[in-house]
A = this chain, B = another copy of it.
Amino acid sequence: MPASADAVILPVFKAPGTRQAMISIQRFEERDWPATWKILEPVFRAGETYPCSTAISEEEAYYYWIEQPSATYIATDNDIHVEGSYYIKPNQPGLGGHVCNCGYVVGENARGRGIASEMCIHSQHEAVAQGFRAMQYNLVVSTNESAVHLWNKQGFDIIGTLPGAFQHRRLGFVDAHVMYKQLVTP
């Protein structure tokens, strides 16, 4: 898949012991949907990290990930395989619209290679470019420790913890964190 005109080639992230990959991140285009859905579906079906129903249909997922957000991006490996995707949207209307919300998914076979970090960094640049002043994650599942750790490393604070706010498919009701980062100096 060729990079589109607004593709941004980010510095390669190479964690010790993981193979190097040239990840490029670009705007989602319609033709990317089948490959994007292929990585989203198992994550949504698992019911461990995203609040959408585990029975979500492809059409509902398309609305949730592509239509509703203001923009969606894909991360590709050497410009070939879709390995990750994220969306960005205002978290609230009007007077709360300067705070954005993002969601990130990395394909099951592409984990541990820093792709989520790359997408998080990319999303922060995009957010500022689009005029957002802060980024908020509304429901970071407390048992998803690698995500909590990753967002922490990216400068997001746990603003608070919502008791039992996520119905984990295996674990039942578990806590979820609200995480937040100011992107622009107040």
Contact = CB atoms under 8 A, between A and B. Distances in A.
Contacts of A95: 47, 50-54, 166-169
Interface string A130-159: 000110101100000000000000000011
Interface string A47-83: 1001111101000000010000000000000000000
Interface size class of chain A, counting residues whose CB lies under 8 Å from the partner chain: 35 or more
A71 to B, nearest CB: 20
Interface string A86-130: 000000111111110000000000000000000000000000000
A65 to B, nearest CB: 12
Interface stretch (A13-21, A25-33, A35-43, A174-182): A174-182
Nearest to A169: B95
Contacts of A161: 159-160
Given A97-B51, A134-B165, A160 B178 contact: yes
B133 A52 contact: no
Contact of A98 (B56, B64, B167, B178): B167
A80 B53 CA distance: 42
Contacts of A165: 92, 96, 99, 134, 136, 180
Given A94-B167, A134-B165, A164-B186, 13 more contacts: A51-B94, A53-B94, A53-B95, A54-B95, A56-B94, A96-B165, A99-B162, A133-B173, A134-B162, A134-B163, A136-B162, A159-B161, A163-B186
Closest 4 CB pairs of A and B: A160-B160, A159-B160, A53-B94, A51-B96
